[in-house]
Structure 1
Amino acid sequence: MIIKNFLNINKGAYFMISLFGILSFCSCNKEKSKTENISHKEQLKNQFDQDISMAILFLDSAATDQSKLKQHLTASRTYFKKIEPVLAALDIENYGFLNQPNILKVEEDDYTDIKVKKASGYQVLEEEVYADEMNTEVIQKHLSLVANRLKLVKENISFTHVKPYHFLWLFRKAIVRIGITGTTGFDSPVLENSLEESKIVYQSLQTSLSYYQDQFKDQTLFDEWNAEIDATTKDLSGDFNAFDRYHFIKNHTHKQLVLWNKMAEDWGTTFPFELAIKNEANSLFSDATFNLTFFSDQNSGPITPEKVALGEKLFYDTNLSSANQISCATCHHPDKAFTDGLKIGKGVTRNTPTLLYAGLQKDFFYDKRAGSLEGQIVSVVENENEFHTDLETLKNVVSNDSVYANAFKEVFHRNEITDAHIRNAIASYIRSLNPFNSKFDRNINNLENSLTQSEINGFNLFHGKAKCATCHFAPLFNGTVPPDYKESEIELIAVPEQNDTINATISPDLGRYYVYKTPERKHFFKTSTVRNVSKTAPYMHNGVYNTLEEVVDFYNRGGGAGIGIDQEYQTLPPDPLNLSPQEIKDLIAFMESLEDIDTSYSETKTEKLASTTN
Structure 2
Amino acid sequence: MKTLSKYPVLLFLYSAVALFVLYHCKNDKQMPIYEDLGTVKQGIIRNTNDFEKQINDLISLVSENSDEKLLQDKFESIRKTYKKMEWAVEYFLPHSARFINGPALPEIEMDEHTEIEPEGLQVLEEMLYPYDPENKAEVIRMLNKLTNKSNTIKTNFQVITVSKDQVFDALRAEAFRISSLGISGFDTPVSGVFLKEMPYSLNGIKTTLEQISTSRSKDRALKSIVAEINRTTAVLQKNTDRNTFDYVNFIPDHLNKITALMLEFKDQENIPDVEVTTALHKNAATFFSKNAFNPNAFAPGNEFAYTEEKAALGQKLFNDNILSNNNNRSCATCHIPEKAFTDGLAKSMSLENSELSRNAPSLNYAGFQHGQFWDMRKEDLEGQSSDVISNKEEMHGDLNVILAKISQDKTYQAAFKKIYHSQKTEVWQLQNVLASYIRSLAKFNSGFDAYMRGDKSAMTEDQKRGFNLFVGKAQCAICHFLPLFNGTVPPTFKKTEQEVLGVAVNGENKAFDKDPGRGRFHETVASLQHSFKTPTLRNINKTAPYMHNGGYKTLKDVMNFYNKGGGKGFGFTVENQTLSDAPLQLTDKEIHDIIEFMKALDDR
**Structure that is richer in helix per residue:** 2
Once the two structures are superposed, residues 400-428 of structure 1 have per-residue CA deviations (whole angstroms, 9 ceiling, x without a partner) of: 21101100111111111001001101101
1:70 to partner: Cα distance: 2.9
Q: Residue 506 of structure 1 is aligned with which of 512, 532, 539? A: 512
- Give % identity: 37
What is the identity, as a one-letter code, of the residue corresponding to 2:132?
Answer: E
What is the identity, as a one-letter code, of the residue corresponding to 2:37?
Answer: K
1:82 to partner: Cα distance: 1.0
Paired residues of 2:322 and 2:402 also in contact (CA < 8 A): no
Alignment of 1:199-278 (within 5 A): 199-214=199-214, 216-217=216-217, 219-237=219-237, 238=239, 239-271=241-273, 272-278=275-281
From the superposition, tell whether residues 253 and 567 of structure 1 become closer, same or farther in structure 2 (CA, over 3 Å): same
**What SS does structure 1 have at the residue aligned with 2:86?**
helix
Does residue 486 (structure 1) correspond to residue 482 (structure 2)? The answer is no
Once the two structures are superposed, residues 237-269 of structure 1 have per-residue CA deviations (whole angstroms, 9 ceiling, x without a partner) of: 312211111111111122122212211211222
For 1:412 and 1:55, the matched residues in 2 are separated by 54
Q: Calculate the TM-score normalised by the size of structure 2.
A: 0.89
What is the identity, as a one-letter code, of the residue corresponding to 2:145?
Answer: L
Q: Which residue of 1 aligns with 2:458?
A: 450
1:69 to partner: Cα distance: 3.1
Paired residues of 2:41 and 2:157 also in contact (CA < 8 A): no
For 1:518 and 1:437, the matched residues in 2 are separated by 42
Q: Which residue of 1 aligns with 2:586?
A: 579
**What SS does structure 2 have at the residue aligned with 1:79?**
helix
Q: Which residue of 1 aligns with 2:524?
A: 518
Does residue 436 (structure 1) correspond to residue 444 (structure 2)? The answer is yes
For 1:379 and 1:158, the matched residues in 2 are separated by 49
What is the identity, as a one-letter code, of the residue corresponding to 1:205?
Answer: I
**What SS does structure 1 have at the residue aligned with 2:282?**
coil
From the superposition, tell whether residues 430 and 534 of structure 1 become closer, same or farther in structure 2 (CA, over 3 Å): same
* RMSD (Å) for aligned C-alpha atoms: 1.7
**What SS does structure 2 have at the residue aligned with 1:523?**
coil
What is the identity, as a one-letter code, of the residue corresponding to 2:546?
Answer: Y
Once the two structures are superposed, residues 452-507 of structure 1 have per-residue CA deviations (whole angstroms, 9 ceiling, x without a partner) of: 11101111111111000000011110000000101110000000013224xx2211
Alignment of 1:277-356 (within 5 A): 277-347=280-350, 348-356=356-364
From the superposition, tell whether residues 423 and 265 of structure 1 become closer, same or farther in structure 2 (CA, over 3 Å): same
Paired residues of 1:560 and 1:566 also in contact (CA < 8 A): yes
Does residue 553 (structure 1) correspond to residue 560 (structure 2)? The answer is yes
1:571 to partner: Cα distance: 0.2
1:147 to partner: Cα distance: 1.0
Gaps of 5+ in 1: 1-37, 598-614
Q: Which residue of 2 aligns with 1:144?
A: 144
For 2:412 and 2:97, the matched residues in 1 are separated by 48
For 2:50 and 2:142, the matched residues in 1 are separated by 17
Gaps of 5+ in 2: 1-33, 351-355
For 2:153 and 2:162, the matched residues in 1 are separated by 16
From the superposition, tell whether residues 40 and 152 of structure 1 become closer, same or farther in structure 2 (CA, over 3 Å): closer
Q: Which residue of 2 aligns with 1:397?
A: 405
What is the identity, as a one-letter code, of the residue corresponding to 1:452?
Answer: T
Does residue 533 (structure 1) correspond to residue 540 (structure 2)? The answer is yes
What is the identity, as a one-letter code, of the residue corresponding to 2:168?
Answer: L
For 1:527 and 1:586, the matched residues in 2 are separated by 22
Once the two structures are superposed, residues 155-195 of structure 1 have per-residue CA deviations (whole angstroms, 9 ceiling, x without a partner) of: 12467442222122111111111111112221111211101
Q: Which residue of 2 aligns with 1:172?
A: 172
**What SS does structure 1 have at the residue aligned with 2:109?**
strand
Q: Which residue of 2 aligns with 1:589?
A: 596
For 1:325 and 1:57, the matched residues in 2 are separated by 69
Paired residues of 1:91 and 1:157 also in contact (CA < 8 A): no
Q: Which residue of 2 aligns with 1:114?
A: 113
For 1:443 and 1:475, the matched residues in 2 are separated by 13
Paired residues of 1:292 and 1:360 also in contact (CA < 8 A): yes
Q: Which residue of 2 aligns with 1:55?
A: 51
Q: Calculate the TM-score normalised by the size of structure 1.
A: 0.88
Q: Residue 432 of structure 2 is aligned with which of 411, 415, 424? A: 424
Does residue 474 (structure 1) correspond to residue 471 (structure 2)? The answer is no
For 1:286 and 1:551, the matched residues in 2 are separated by 30
Paired residues of 2:213 and 2:269 also in contact (CA < 8 A): no
Q: Which residue of 1 aligns with 2:97?
A: 95
From the superposition, tell whether residues 570 and 398 of structure 1 become closer, same or farther in structure 2 (CA, over 3 Å): same
The range that moved more, 352-361 or 271-280, is 271-280
Paired residues of 2:507 and 2:558 also in contact (CA < 8 A): no
For 1:268 and 1:132, the matched residues in 2 are separated by 50
Once the two structures are superposed, residues 311-332 of structure 1 have per-residue CA deviations (whole angstroms, 9 ceiling, x without a partner) of: 1111111012111011111110
For 2:588 and 2:525, the matched residues in 1 are separated by 38
Q: Residue 376 of structure 2 is aligned with which of 333, 346, 368? A: 368
Paired residues of 2:448 and 2:601 also in contact (CA < 8 A): yes
- How many residue pairs get aligned? The number is 555
1:204 to partner: Cα distance: 1.2
Q: Which residue of 2 aligns with 1:129?
A: 128
Paired residues of 2:183 and 2:194 also in contact (CA < 8 A): yes
The range that moved more, 286-295 or 193-202, is 286-295
For 1:200 and 1:218, the matched residues in 2 are separated by 22
Q: Which residue of 1 aligns with 2:396?
A: 388
Paired residues of 1:287 and 1:434 also in contact (CA < 8 A): no
For 1:158 and 1:445, the matched residues in 2 are separated by 41
Once the two structures are superposed, residues 430-457 of structure 1 have per-residue CA deviations (whole angstroms, 9 ceiling, x without a partner) of: 1111111111111221246131111011
For 2:242 and 2:284, the matched residues in 1 are separated by 28
The range that moved more, 183-192 or 405-414, is 183-192
Does residue 162 (structure 1) correspond to residue 162 (structure 2)? The answer is yes
